[in-house]
Amino acid sequence: MKARQSGRKRVKLQIKANPKSDVFVSGSFNEWSENAKQLKDSDGEGNFNAILMLFPGEYEYKFLVNGEWSIDSQCQNWVKNDFGTLNSLIKVS
């Protein structure tokens, strides 16, 4: 209910990585901070998850897994970035 009042929507991101990896999500929603949002491996099997509270709009993002940039393979939308690689694109309605 609080999320509706603020206008933000709950967005879950997830990625599979080796257990005990350091996994962060970085994107236009956090000014591409490389360590602002760490994903948790709650089951200890490499299933990393994070919940973001985002206003409606479009956001580019990538995962940072042990210092290596990675797109979200579960996301079907990508855009080319200034480095000639791809960013994942999420649309929050």
**CA-to-CA distance for 52 and 11, rounded, in angstroms?**
5
When divided into structural domains, the chain yields a total of: 1
Query: 35: buried, middle or exposed (CB in 10 Å: 19+, 13-18, 0-12)?
Result: exposed
Residue 16 has pLDDT above 80, yes or no: yes
CATH of the domain at 76: 2.60.40.10
The 10s digit of each residue's pLDDT in 47-91 is 999 999 999 999 999 999 999 999 999 999 999 999 999 999 999
Residue 4 has pLDDT above 90, yes or no: no
Q: Which domain holds residue 47?
A: 2-92
